[in-house]
Amino acid sequence: MELTDIQRKFVLHWGEMGSMWGVNRTVSQIHALLFAHGKPMHAEELSETLGVARSNVSNSLKELQAWNLVRITHTMGDRRDYFETSVDVWELFRTVVRERKEREFDPTVRVLRELVSSPDFQKEPADAQDRIRSTMELMDKLATWADEMLRLSPGTLDKVLTLGASVQRFVRGDTAATDKSGGKGDKGDDPDAHHASLPMI
């Protein structure tokens, strides 16, 4: 398969970003290729297109399946396994958040709860107890928030993120009135004003 210049740049960049996120470069490139292509591809085609070893592709596909980011499909008259990913960016976002939460976030919360509930915890210095307990409470709140967000449909989640700027202004107590021309009031005294148009994630 011949990649367009746009596809090639997308796949290469996704591989670079994957490394920064702690994900194998080939794993990220395969997922990016399947997403950009939008159609099922077999392992040989993935190997040839990306110029990586067949064994590397096989291992990477297994990892992507473990993350629920890639699924196997078949084509009439072809005995080979084909692989595809969701082309719904919101569904991919939800899958990545859910998988990372279960693998990385939830275990930390469990350990913190065990530490705080341990009889030995009371033997720690008061300031150390406060730091650990505060960390647990913050992560508990974030976990609850993430669970609530994951229950929302993609359409509802999109609306929640779009409304983020309004919520942010409300929480900050921003009461700046609009000027007579209908524009926004002077934001010179508000250090966060330039963030007002950004969704709060």
The CATH number given to whatever domain includes residue 24 is: 1.10.10.10
| Residues 79, 106 within the same domain | no
Residue 110 and residue 69 in one domain = no
Same domain, 106 and 152: yes
* Alpha-carbon span 162 to 159, nearest angstrom: 5
* Number of neighbouring beta carbons within 10 Å of residue 178: 9
Distance of CA 189 to the CA centre of its chain: 34
Q: How many domains does the chain have?
A: 2
**Residue 94 shares a structural domain with residue 154:** yes
Distance in angstroms (rounded) separating the CA atoms of residues 51 and 2: 12
Joined together, the tokens standing for residue 91 give 């569904």
> Is 112 found in the same domain as 45?
no
Does a structural domain hold residue 191?
no
Q: Note whether 78 and 131 are same-domain residues.
A: no
pLDDT per residue of the chain (201 residues) written in tens, 0 to 9: 889 999 999 999 999 999 998 899 999 999 999 999 999 999 999 999 999 999 999 999 999 999 999 999 998 999 999 999 999 998 999 999 999 999 999 999 999 999 999 999 999 999 999 999 999 999 999 999 999 988 888 888 888 878 876 777 777 776 554 444 444 444 445 444 444 443 433
Task: Give residue 85's identity as a one-letter amino acid code.
Answer: T
pTM: 0.74
Is 196 within a domain? no
List the domain range (segments joined by +) for residue 30.
5-84
Domain's final residue, options 24, 52, 84: 84
Q: What letter represents residue 46's amino acid?
A: L
